Amino acid sequence: MMNLSRRAALALPLALPVSARAEDWKPGQQVRILVPAAPAGTTDIMARLLSQRLQTRWGTPVVVENRAGAGGTIGTLELVRSRPDGLTIMSGNIGPQAIAYSLFRNLPYRAEQIIPIAGTIRGPNVLVVNNSVPARTVAELAAMIRARPGQISYASTGVGQSTHLSPVLMLQLLNAEAIHVPFRGSGPAQVDLLAGTVNFMIDNLTGVMEHIRAGRVRALAVTSAERSPQLPDIPALRETMPELASYEVNTWFGIFGPAGLPPAVVQGVNVEVNAWLDLPDTRQRFTDLGGAPLRLSPDEFATFVASETRKWGEVVRREGIQVDAS
């Protein structure tokens, strides 16, 4: 039997409980999941699905609180101001957790004030039009926008969200102009799209898939490099027109905490989220929504978020877009 030094022998009993505490951490009281968007969008859907799972696993209430507004920055700021005790986490997304850092001049929080904990879902956006819009292809929609510059409207889930910058990039490549109508989340935006108040939208596929399948809106293209397996007959935007050949956008969602969150809490929540992502029912639900699990460790997710922040910073600077946070 191998001999251990006294120091190593003393360290072993301490190392094992630390690992166990990280994986078995439980809050012991009510937890809230902040959603920096309105109900019904993908950010909200992820929070509500996860809350049911965590409530069962932890044996304590897990409530979802929507804090919409200012492109997701209002809800994110509430997370930053919360105590790092594991009782407040957030279902975030590409907008306030990556794009916002370069888009807003006076952003009230910094990246280092937020800890990426775990990914949840990723997938493409999809260009959809109200059924009353005559365009049935991207080329026809582009012709309509060019014929009526500044008159065709598009909805977004808020300034700075991928649903805002996705059409901005498309319009820049098309050298066309349309009217941006921001909403406080996907739910309200979809209501006006369905009512015909706005003409088109590039929304998360996960958030609008049910409307597409029900025929309530018409899908013209997905924003990923390739076609989506969930919509195999719908082209990728980049294959529809020569001007859009370089176009590619994917969106993502995940769980975040305030800076100072103990490593055991970060690891404990990550373990629970990833176990949820591994469930066959979860994978099937994500497929139905048009997405795929974003299963990463805390370090991997942090690296991913940092990479996305750099990517969108370059896009925002290249487009020359900056707005005030409000």
pLDDT in tens, 92-126: 999 999 999 999 988 999 999 999 999 999 999 99
Residue range 30-122+251-319 forms a domain whose CATH class is alpha beta
- In a 13 Å sphere around the CA of 90, the CA atoms on its Cβ side amount to 33
- For residue 11, the SS3 value is helix
Partners of 187 in beta bridges: none
Q: Which residue has the higher pLDDT, 155 or 2?
A: 155
| Mean pLDDT, the chain, whole residue set | 90
CATH for 124-250 is 3.40.190.10
Most confident of 2-11, 43-52, 69-78: 43-52
- Under 8 Å between Cβ of 187 and 39: yes
pLDDT tops 50 at residue 13: no
Please tell me the distance from the alpha carbon of residue 72 to that of residue 34, in angstroms, as a whole number.
11
pLDDT tops 90 at residue 216: yes
Nearest 5 degrees, angle CA 217-CA 222-CA 224? 160
Provide the pLDDT for residue 326: 67
Span of 1-5, 187-191, 262-266, 282-286 with lowest mean pLDDT: 1-5
- Under 8 Å between Cβ of 142 and 241: yes
* Sign for the pseudo-dihedral over CA of 147, 153, 156, 159: positive
- Under 8 Å between Cβ of 89 and 124: no
Structural domain boundaries in the chain? 30-122+251-319, 124-250
Using alpha carbons, select from 83, 261, 251, 49 the residue that is nearest to residue 156: 251
Share of the chain above pLDDT 90, in %: 75
- Under 8 Å between Cβ of 160 and 116: no
Provide the pLDDT for residue 1: 32
User: Which residue do the tokens 């800890």 mark?
Assistant: 115
Nearest 5 degrees, angle CA 73-CA 74-CA 80? 80
Q: Which residue has the higher pLDDT, 32 or 17?
A: 32
How confident is the model over 58-74, as pLDDT tens digits? 999 999 999 998 889 99
Report residue 3's pLDDT band, with 50, 70 and 90 as the boundaries: very low
pLDDT tops 90 at residue 4: no
Strands 250-258, 217-222: pairing is: unpaired
Share of the chain above pLDDT 70, in %: 93
Instruction: Calculate mean pLDDT across residues 192-213.
Output: 94
Most confident of 11-15, 149-153, 247-251: 149-153
Q: Which residue has the higher pLDDT, 291 or 60?
A: 60
Provide the pLDDT for residue 21: 52
Instruction: Calculate mean pLDDT across residues 12-39.
Output: 71
Residue 85 exposed, middle or buried by CB count within 10 Å (0-12, 13-18, 19+): middle
φ, ψ of residue 303 to 5 degrees: the values are: -65, -40
Q: Specify the DSSP class assigned to residue 235.
A: P
Instruction: Calculate mean pLDDT across residues 234-255.
Output: 95
pLDDT tops 80 at residue 54: yes
Crossing angle between the packed helical segments 42-58 and 280-289, to the nearest 10 degrees: 170
Q: How crowded is residue 21: how many other Cβ atoms within 10 Å of its Cβ?
A: 15
- Under 8 Å between Cβ of 165 and 94: no
Nearest 5 degrees, angle CA 138-CA 100-CA 272? 95
How confident is the model over 138-194, as pLDDT tens digits? 999 999 999 999 999 999 988 878 899 899 989 989 999 999 999 988 899 999 999
Please tell me the distance from the alpha carbon of residue 295 to that of residue 317, in angstroms, as a whole number.
30
Model confidence pTM above 0.75: yes
- Under 8 Å between Cβ of 125 and 253: no
Most confident of 21-35, 134-148, 202-216: 134-148
User: Which residue do the tokens 């191998």 mark?
Assistant: 2
Report residue 301's pLDDT band, with 50, 70 and 90 as the boundaries: very high
Element spanning 234, H or E = none
Provide the pLDDT for residue 18: 38
* Encoded amino acid at 277, one letter: L
Please tell me the distance from the alpha carbon of residue 120 to that of residue 118, in angstroms, as a whole number.
7
